[in-house]
Amino acid sequence: MNAVNRPKGKRTQTPASIVTDVKPLQERTSEEVRAIQQRRIIDRASQRIEHQRKIRLELKAKLKVQPKTATPTAHPGPRCPVFNSASISSPVAPAFSQHTLKRFDMAVKGLKAQGRSLNQRLLICHHHLRSDPVLAAIDPRELRKELSSQTNFKS
């Protein structure tokens, strides 16, 4: 019963089930005893469910009363700028900093590492690419395909 999530706050106990049909123990058969136990279990479960429903409705009413915070309605857009090819006269070549070039070289070296599985090499490459925001959009699998198309790279 510890797994039931109950709200913190005022706690009310569920009323115990009341047994109305009381016979001496000698007169009851095993089927009657089993039926009484099942009925008691069902009654207690339905009371517990009703109590939880009541608590949930109270919490829901409290949440509706509280003012909601402002949420952004528009999608922020893609990570990378989208260029219209008709408006660009020359190809855009980003100026990479020394830090970005170092991270890219480390990612390529991670892909070329000897003695490691492909998954490990892709993970190393992924780590180095994600450490720089300029390189974060590069997929390590695509970089591996690009490097494998070159003649000096062996996977």
Q: Is residue 90 part of a domain?
A: no
Range of the domain at 37: 25-65
Contacts of 83 (CB under 8 A, 6+ apart): 92
* Residue-wise pLDDT tens digits, 122-144: 999 999 999 888 888 888 888 88
Query: In angstroms, rounded to a whole number, what is the distance separating the alpha carbons of residues 29 and 34?
Result: 9
To the nearest 10 degrees (0 to 180), the angle between helices 118-130 and 140-149 is: 110
Q: What does each of the 155 residues of the chain score in pLDDT, given as a tens digit?
A: 455 666 665 555 655 556 566 666 567 888 998 999 999 999 999 999 999 999 999 988 888 776 656 555 565 555 666 666 555 555 555 667 888 889 989 998 998 888 999 999 999 999 999 988 888 888 888 888 888 887 565 55
Chosen domain end from 11, 41, 65: 65
pLDDT for 27: 79
pLDDT for 47: 93
pLDDT for 44: 93
Chosen domain end from 65, 89, 116: 65
Q: Is residue 155 part of a domain?
A: no
Q: Is residue 78 part of a domain?
A: no
Q: Is residue 8 part of a domain?
A: no
Q: From the CB of residue 61, how many other CB atoms can be counted at a distance below 10 Å?
A: 9
pTM: 0.38
Structure tokens that stand for 136 in this block: 């974060």
Total of domains in the chain: 2
pLDDT for 117: 92
Question: Which one, of 89, 12, 149, 24, lies nearest residue 33 by Cα?
Answer: 24
Q: Is residue 144 part of a domain?
A: yes
Q: Is residue 40 part of a domain?
A: yes
Q: Is residue 17 part of a domain?
A: no
Helix, strand, coil percentages in the chain from 3-state DSSP, rounded to 5:
50, 0, 50
Q: Is residue 5 part of a domain?
A: no
Chosen domain end from 65, 90, 124: 65
